[in-house]
Amino acid sequence: MQKLIRRRPRDPERTLSAQQLHPLLARVYTARGIYTPEELDLGLSRLLPPARLLNAERAASLLADAMAADSRLLVIGDFDADGATSTALAVSVLRSMGATQVDYLVPNRFDYGYGLTPEIVELAAGRAPDLIITVDNGISSLEGVAAARARGIATLITDHHLAGRELPAADVIVNPNQPGCGFPSKNLAGVGVIFYVMLALRAELRRRGWFEQREEPNLGHYTDLVALGTVADVVPLDHNNRILVAAGLQRIQAGHARPGIGALLEVASRNPRSVVASDLGFAVGPRINAAGRLDDMSIGIECLLSSDPSRAAPLARQLHQLNQDRRLIEGDMQAEALRELARLELAEEGEPPVAMTLYQPGWHQGVIGILASRIKDRLHRPTIAFADGDAGQIKGSARSIPGIHIRDILDAVAVRHPGLISKFGGHAMAAGLSLAREDYEAFSRAFVAEVERHAEDVELQAVIESDGELAETEFDLELATALRFAGPWGQHFPEPVFDGIFQVVSQRIVGEKHLKLVLFPADGSVLLDAIAFNVDLEVWPDQSIEQIEIAYRLDVNEYRGQRSVQLMVEHIVPR
């Protein structure tokens, strides 16, 4: 689908004024709603206090009582990178604070599905826990919490997903998105929520004099985990989340990353000293996610828990191989999906429907989320990809576009068509669901109809938001470096993208399907290296194309110790 390049509006009445800040950076920050230097302060002292997070202090008391009684604590996580980092953080911090009986359990998605289900409680009961602590899940686990209560097991739910109409009857629930919680940042990832609970626990243990007999941990040492989980879960980077991510990145850049994260950066060929948020999101996160998608997330958790580089390294290599396998599986699935889309586009005269559902019996359950994301990006339509589950069920993974709240859409379908969806959960941009295989066609019709009801004011044209043109003097290595580290950039705080018209000096394909370019601005003369990834090989290279319009990021290329400006092309159109 052709994308529209649209420049961000500028308000001359509201401009960030800060000493020693390049005018381009000021322009970029202002376009993202930052108007005062205080909003650029990402020191940990600026974090919202844990006391403002509903029930964080109650959770701290529950945990402190359990630790005083030497209770058995069992952390139950999710099988993605947020769940893995949440689990590793909870286990590590609790142990560092002096809890002597801490274990974890992550359900295998293929055997047990998502969340604290009664089946997971039955499995957990074999370890005789006194208290179950969920991380990155549990807000929808009504039956699971009831099953734990029936067995006499206390439950602490820590989650960030949207709550349903009824909350589980847990001992304590900590979730910024539960009713009644006035925490200003609703965008904490699961790892952010459990980090806040650990902050509250440390304060409670201080009050009780717990650390008079043992060393008090520095929770800043765990911010690399918080940064990784926050970025990998693609939650909006509001000011509070940017503080958390910036702290973790600084720790990694300073050479203090935990061995598991260091090993994952190494297998991904990333330099820890120059790591930025996108490296966590596109290099480290997918390798951890691959464990949960194809095998067992405990591989990822053990890698993150390891304090020994010699143990972390082989686990990171195993995760790297799983990610390679995942990419092969995804490639085959995407090819099947695109063939189906080609037939659909011919039938629909090239215009895709307002929403997409895709299902093939042979698809891999662990990869449908990535497939849905790829098709959503390609068509700019809410997309759900399904694969076979158990007992005649199919499982779907949904991804959405701005303006279409996918969990609310599923909720509306469930209300209009009772019994059509077996279960669902998620948030605005991503969700999961299950339904009977024979109900797939009926669900598809209901889903498209519901999206149509909400899509009247939604932009179905894919748009690239640009920060405008760069002057020739701004293609500068120092400025490119400043932009790279001026974030952290991410969801709802996007990395700067610029646009312009360029003359093509040379073009060639590298790495099978990436277009390497040498350009100069249409009204300038400075030669610039550029690269566009995954181009359409039916269009490129084309030596007859002499001029192009591109949207790009200004970045730094490091090769054999040399650093130079490089344009990372996001969108390219021949002129």
Of 309, 337, 323, 467, nearest to 399 (Cα)?
337
The DSSP H or E segment spanning 344 is: helix 309-347
pLDDT at position 296 is 86
- Which residues are within 8 A (CB) of 467 and not within 5 positions of it... i.e. 6 or more apart? 7, 8, 27, 28, 31, 496, 497, 498
Encode pLDDT of 287-296 as tens digits: 999 998 888 8
Tell me how far apart the terminal alpha carbons of the chain are, to the nearest angstrom. 17
- Asked if residues 382 and 355 have their Cβ atoms less than 8 Å apart, the reply is yes
Query: Which residues, in sequence order, are bridge partners of residue 528?
Result: 519
111 — pLDDT class (breaks 50, 70, 90): low
CA-CA distances (angstroms) from residue 534 to 149, 257, 282, 569?
A: 52, 32, 15, 10
Query: Which residues, in sequence order, are bridge partners of residue 551?
Result: 499, 571
Of 498, 528, 526, nearest to 516 (Cα)?
528
Q: For 367, what's the count of Cα atoms within 13 Å in the CB-facing half-sphere? A: 22
Average pLDDT of the chain, as a whole number: 93
Q: Which amino acid is at 334?
A: Q
Reduce the DSSP state of residue 530 to 3 states and report it.
strand
Encode pLDDT of 363-385 as tens digits: 999 899 999 998 999 889 999 99
Encode pLDDT of 126-158 as tens digits: 999 999 999 999 999 999 999 999 999 999 999
- Asked if residues 329 and 357 have their Cβ atoms less than 8 Å apart, the reply is no
Q: Which token pair is 11?
A: 């308000």
Of 408, 409, 436, nearest to 422 (Cα)?
436
Q: Domains of the chain (ranges plus CATH)?
A: 4-32+464-574 (2.40.50.460), 45-319 (3.90.1640.30), 351-454 (3.10.310.30)
Strands (E), 138-228: 154-158, 172-174
Encode pLDDT of 309-361 as tens digits: 999 999 999 999 999 999 999 999 989 988 877 776 544 555 788 999 999 99
Encode pLDDT of 207-238 as tens digits: 999 999 899 999 999 999 999 999 999 999 99
pLDDT at position 391 is 86
- Is the pLDDT assigned to residue 181 strictly greater than 70? yes
Q: For 5, what's the count of Cα atoms within 13 Å in the CB-facing half-sphere? A: 18
